[in-house]
Structure formats: structure tokens, C-alpha cells
Structure 1
Amino acid sequence: MIFNVWKDIQNKKVQPVYLLVGEESFLMQETLRHIVQASLLEEEKDFNLSVYDMEETPVETAIEDAETLPFMGEKRVVIIKNSVFLTSEKKKEKLEHRVEKLEQYINSPAPYTIVVFVAPYEKLDERKKITKLLKKQSVVIEMKSLSDDEAIKWMLNVAQEQRVELEKAAVEQLLVLTAGDLMAIHQELQKLSTYVGEGGIISVEAVNLLVARTLEQNIFDLIEHVIYRRSKEALQIFYDLLKNNEEPIKILSLLVTQFRLILQVKELSTVGYGQQQIASTVKVHPFRVKLALQQARLFQTEELAHILMELAEADYEMKTGKKDKQLLLELFLLKLFKND
């Protein structure tokens, strides 16, 4: 859906009112960029682009601006951020919004203005009259995590814009190293495109060379080595993390987070939940769920529960200072291999 809207916008098929809903901030930024780019020339932005924050400014002020003729151009763009009046949230501030003024505008928008309502919330209050009206009269775009296929399609489009090619293996490795984070993928693709140059091919070797592994990714790899009983490789990652001054308690915390996720996705998949449903339920990115599902198949539920108990005990001993922090983690890893 979002790619179709982007395509229409890029083809100058811009609508008078948009409503962007959801918590995927990168998609929100990209959609706004497409709208502004398609509507205004660079030199027009100073005069005809306005941004209002509804936590600081009443909505009627933004609407008055939307009704004002553009200056030295054909179009005006008004971005209305944090449209809290569309939600059930109760704010401490005494700022009141005259939504009746907004209702009038939505029913008869100015032909020379593009108004974009930004609602970075999981859901809106569907009971409100203004929410119903806005959803009916605007182009609604949901800002939610992309599926694997959508993410790959988007990555290939970005590569095409940069005039480079992406190998299939490079796509998959980039998804793994970034855990599907769109902002990180975009930044890394720009870096990789500069590295290979126009007309170049981004290979998996280039991705491994230039894309830094996050602490979370190192923990994922460590667990992967544990699963396949590669003790040497697992311990090597652990010692490398310590050399990079990563705190043992932070490493322990991430181990707990990952093993808990593996247990959650295993239990949810057992009762028939799909990848997207699991991601929504446990509130993590779908790609992280996909990776956790792969690991979950290699554990028994009882084994995962036992590992989490062991980690809880290590956490207690670490925080009470009963044993050396590094030694506790080493003993935990060695115990995992001993259980083979």
C-alpha cells in the first residue's frame, strides 16, 4: 500500500489531505519527504512549507495557514505533527484545539494546499467524530513495520535510486545485521553505494566488510554458536565483547532478552500464530521474530525455561556481588555446552 502511495506522489498525483498513522518513524519521514519533494521546489520551501506541533500550537492556527494562498508558488504544504486530538490520550497541558474549524476545512480543503496530519500512535480513537471524518476524507497511510518481502522490495528500490545492484545474499545479510531496522538499512545502503560506485554491485563481502555488527547482533551470533555447539566460536565472541569494554551485565541482559524472545515465539507459534501476529503480540520487529523462530526450532520449551532460570540466577549473583561478573558468564556458557 505505502509503495503505491509513494509512486502516486512521485508522479505528482498529490492529494489535498493525508493522514499518516503509526509508529514506524522512518517510513513517516520518507513519506513526508516524498510529499514535500513532489509539491514544492527547493526555493519555495522557505515560503510555502509550514510545520506545526499540536502539543504546542492549536490546530486552528495551522488551518488558517492552510487557507492562506501560497507565496511565489503554486502549492503550500502544511504538516500537522503530533495530532493528539485524534487519540484518547489525556494531556496535562491546557492547550485546546477548535476541531470544528478543522472539520470545516476537511469538508472543503483549499485546492492549493496539501495538509499532512502526522499521528505517530499505535491507534486512534475511532469513536471521535473528527477521527471518523478525517479517515473518510483523507488518504490514510499506515506506518507499520514492513514484511520481509516489502522490506526487500524497498531495499531494491533504494539501490536502484542509488544506481547500484544488490546481490540476493547481500540483501539477506544486510537484513540480518540491521535486524530489519529501516533507518539503519537506508544509512548502510548509502554507504555501500558510495563504496561500490555508480553501476557497481553490492556483494555480501562488501556488507560484511562495511556494516558494523551491533551488540545485539553479536549476542544473536553467540546464541547461534551455542545452539550448534560451537564452543570455540561462542567464547571468541564473548571475549571480543569484553575486549571492546562491553559490560558483562549488559551482555547478560541481552542474553535474557533473546532467550525470552525465543521462548515467546516458540510458544506462540505452537498455538498457530504467524510471524506478523507474533511480532505484533510481543512488540518486536517481524525480522527479529523470523530469526528467533529459526532458533526456537532447535530448543525444547523446557530447555528454554531452564536456561532463563540459569540466567536469572546469574543475574542475582552478579548484582549481589557473590561472584566475578565475567566468571559467571563464562560458567553459564560452559554449562550450556556441557548439557549437550
Structure 2
Amino acid sequence: MPIWKKIEQKQFSPIYLLYGTEAFVINETKQRLIQSVLTEEEMDFNFSSYDLEDIPVEAALEEAETLPFMGDKKLVILQNPVFLTAERSKDKVEHNVKKLEEYIANPAPYTIVVFSAPYEKLDERKKITKLLKKNAEVMEANKLNEKELKAWIRTRAAANQAQIEEEAIDHLLAIAGTNLMMLASELDKLSLYASGEQPITVEVVDQLTARSLEQDIFALVDKVVTGKVEKAFRIYYDLLKLNEEPIKILAVIANQFRLIYQTKELARKGYGQQQIAGFLKVHPFRVKLAAGQARSFSDEQLAAIMMMLADSDLQMKTSGMAKSLIAEMFLFKLQSLMQKTG
């Protein structure tokens, strides 16, 4: 049974280990625990949170072993247990890990202890890590792949009494990106608009979803690729109206073309989508979108575009010309290049 379902049904474990780089999932799980374990009145007396970069673990365990006041349960959250990783300890304090081992073997029945570890990997060689993984309810919260991301979107919409069409899911990811906090905010807004009476469609997503700068740049590049240059310039002028700096716009355009070039090159060498994402340290969905755009450019075009971007960047930093004009000139050159070689 998934951990969230157990929490909803108040099937609590005395110890939880939440680790991974997806901070939104970890924080949401902690919030669900807080809401399920304690009432508002009990929060002041029976909730504690310790940063283990500042507080020794044995001090937190003393709190865990103290009986709850005005309630049946206590909740103790232990943040940043770096001693579970292979990293060299930068702690200002020394931890009595032996005391922790003893607690794990015999946890207080009235306390729920949560280890919140924002690390991609734990050191499986360490005795304390093995002990925790064996005795705790463990949730790994690393970045979701495309399939998991889409399932998460459906689940989030359903929790808001809304349905979202498959095409709308793709469009939402293309516009809002893959950050779960941003997606959650947008889904809550879309669900409120739909009010459970109608599904969330592509049109609704397009109308209501806030776009990040990166997604606007992706759309701008896409318009150039598909020959819709007027729309590309419209996006650029809209970004200027929103007070986005031309040098920043150009930098994000450069990042997008760099991703397209690297994706094309790695795919040619036989790397799959997940491997490319891991190598470039970006979300697989971004690689999928970049791979789609890469098909529209030859190697010669991409080399020429990267050179044009480097020249434009140098001009912005050394010439007295208006930066907005330099970025606009780059777009005209890009349009001309695509027309000549298209």
C-alpha cells in the first residue's frame, strides 16, 4: 500500500525515512503526517523539528522519548541527517549514532520520528543506513520520469475532483515544465476552473497556465522551427514587456539550443532518453522535447546558430548597442538561416 494511503488511514510507522531530491514530495508527505497525526491544539505541545546540522541526534531522541502532553502521539522531524550519506561530514556537531541505533531497535510507541534526507543517495554500506532502511517506512522521492509525472498529474487532478485529458497533460508539461511545486499550483487553479463539471482540456491549459521563461523560449524556438516567425517575435516582445532582460533571454535561448545540440549528438551515439537526461542532468521530458526540435536542424545549422549566439553574447557585453536590438538581430539572423537552409 502506498505510504500516503497508509497515512490517510492512520496506519502509522514509529519511524519514517524520506529521502531523495524531489523536495515537493518530501514536504507534502511531512505535511500529510502532521495533519493526520496531530490536531491544531496538539501542535504546540507534541510537534518538534530539529536540524541535525545544528543539533546532535541524541538531543532529538530525548524529545522523542518524552511522553506526549495533552495527546496520544508526538511527531518529531529530523532534518538533514548527513551521516546517512557518503559525504564527508560538515556538521558543527558530533552525533551519537550508537544512541540512534538503540532507539531504532526499540522506538517509543507514542512517538513518530521522521528522517527528512534531501539526498539523491544514501550510503548503503553504513550500519545505521541499513538499520533505518530495515526498520523504517521508507519513501524514495527522486525526480519522476515522464510516465510517473503524468500519473502524478492525473492523481493530483482527481484529488481536486477534476479530470484532465491526456493531450492537456502533455500541453501542461510543455508550458509549465516539470517542477512539481509549479505543476501543483497550476493544477489546483485548473481544477478550480473546471469545478468537476468538465474535463481540463488543452484550451483551458493554454488559457490559464502561467509560463516560465524557459517554456516561453522553448515556444519561441518552436515557432521559428515551424516557420511561424511572427509568433516568435511576438513572444520576444511580450517578454520585453514583462521586463525580462535581453541578455537573460539570449542566455536561455542559448541553453535551449545547447540542449538540442547535445541531445542530437548523444542520440547519434546511441544514448536513450533516460541516459541523455542523466548525462545532462535535466528532466527526461525536456530531453524528449529537445529531441523533437533537434529533428528540424542539421548539424551545420546548429553549429552556425551556436556561433551566432556566441557573437550576440559578445556584442551585448562589449558593444554600446542596445541589448534588446542585439537579441532582435539574432532572431532575424535565425529566421534567415532557417529560410536559406529549409
In the TM superposition, what is the alpha-carbon distance from 1:93 to its structure 2 partner? 5.0
Query: CA offsets, 1:21-70, max 9 Å, x none?
Result: 11111011111122233333343222222111111211111111122222
Residue 216 (structure 1) aligned to one of 214, 217, 221: 214
In the TM superposition, what is the alpha-carbon distance from 1:260 to its structure 2 partner? 0.9
Corresponding residue number in structure 2 for 1:233: 231
Residue 2 (structure 2) aligned to one of 1, 4, 11: 4
- Identity percentage over the alignment? 53
In the TM superposition, what is the alpha-carbon distance from 1:165 to its structure 2 partner? 2.2
Query: CA offsets, 1:222-268, max 9 Å, x none?
Result: 10011122222212212222232221101110011111111222222
Map 1:22-37 → 2, pairs under 5 A: 22-37=20-35
Distance 1:279 1:43, change over 3 A: farther
3-state SS in 1 of match to 2:292: helix
In the TM superposition, what is the alpha-carbon distance from 1:315 to its structure 2 partner? 0.6
Residue 139 (structure 1) aligned to one of 123, 137, 160: 137
**Counterpart residue identity of residue 205, structure 1:** E
Residue 156 (structure 1) aligned to one of 154, 159, 165: 154
Residue 76 (structure 1) aligned to one of 70, 74, 77: 74
Asked if 1:189 is matched to 2:187, the reply is yes
Asked if 1:256 is matched to 2:261, the reply is no
Q: State how far apart, in whole Å, the 2-side matches of 1:277 and 1:113 are.
A: 42
TM-align CA RMSD: 2.0
Q: State how far apart, in whole Å, the 1-side matches of 2:38 and 2:120 are.
A: 30
Moved more, 145-154 or 267-276: 267-276
Asked if 1:204 is matched to 2:202, the reply is yes
3-state SS in 2 of match to 1:202: coil
Residue 101 (structure 2) aligned to one of 97, 100, 103: 103
**Counterpart residue identity of residue 147, structure 2:** D
Corresponding residue number in structure 1 for 2:18: 20
Corresponding residue number in structure 1 for 2:118: 120
Moved more, 33-42 or 182-191: 33-42
Query: CA offsets, 1:174-232, max 9 Å, x none?
Result: 21211121111111122222223354432322222221222111111110011122222
Corresponding residue number in structure 1 for 2:164: 166
**Counterpart residue identity of residue 301, structure 1:** D
Runs of 5+ unmatched residues, structure 1: none
Q: State how far apart, in whole Å, the 1-side matches of 2:259 and 2:295 are.
A: 13
Q: State how far apart, in whole Å, the 2-side matches of 1:302 and 1:127 are.
A: 49
In the TM superposition, what is the alpha-carbon distance from 1:277 to its structure 2 partner? 2.5
3-state SS in 2 of match to 1:19: strand
